[in-house]
Chain A
């Protein structure tokens, strides 16, 4: 059965810490993996990773795709309270979302 699993389910850290969120997938005909951030509203897109683009970076956020391990990580450095959100990963093409990691940043 195709699935996407995220860990940890929740995480509480202090402002300034670095966090690593994990996403593993088992999907037939994998083509892409996407990361989203969801605050109080609908998810907003962060990154898309494919075979031709296995590492992406934007400011304090970065993500790597490990096709051998069928997984991806999302790193956030120097966290801020505004990073508090649910982070979702999903496979593209065959759309399967993980349950998300709820990240809470303490001031």
Chain B
């Protein structure tokens, strides 16, 4: 069974630009969550989608948004990038909301 895949794996952008990250969950998983991981703040929850609906949202500004498609694939968008957005962005999928999550390898975003 294929794991969670994320694309791209690495990304370099400049301040003010926008970026879209993609996540394909494990087949059959309908819940997809996004996290930002930085050395100082640890793993911070961005949002969770289940059956194309956003079910939970963390404390991030509106520049961070996401969506989920009917095939459970999810995208995350960050607009007007800031230097502080440099981080590892992890996506995780689970069969049911609240169950164990399986993480993808992450997208490392660097904002210059």
Residues of B within 8 A of A8 (CB): none
A45 touches B102 (CB 8 A): yes
Chain B contact residues: over half helix, strand or loop, or mixed?
A: strand
Shortest CB-to-CB span from A52 to chain B, Å, is 13
| Interface range on chain B (Cβ under 8 Å from partner) | 20 to 34
B100 touches A42 (CB 8 A): no
Q: Which residue of B lies closest to A100 (CB)?
A: B42
Shortest CB-to-CB span from B55 to chain A, Å, is 9
A97's contact among B43, B48, B98, by CB below 8 Å, is which?
B43
What residues make up the interface of B, taking CB atoms closer than 8 Å to A? 33, 35, 41-45, 48, 56, 90, 92, 97-106
What residues make up the interface of A, taking CB atoms closer than 8 Å to B? 31-32, 34, 41-45, 48, 88, 90, 92-100
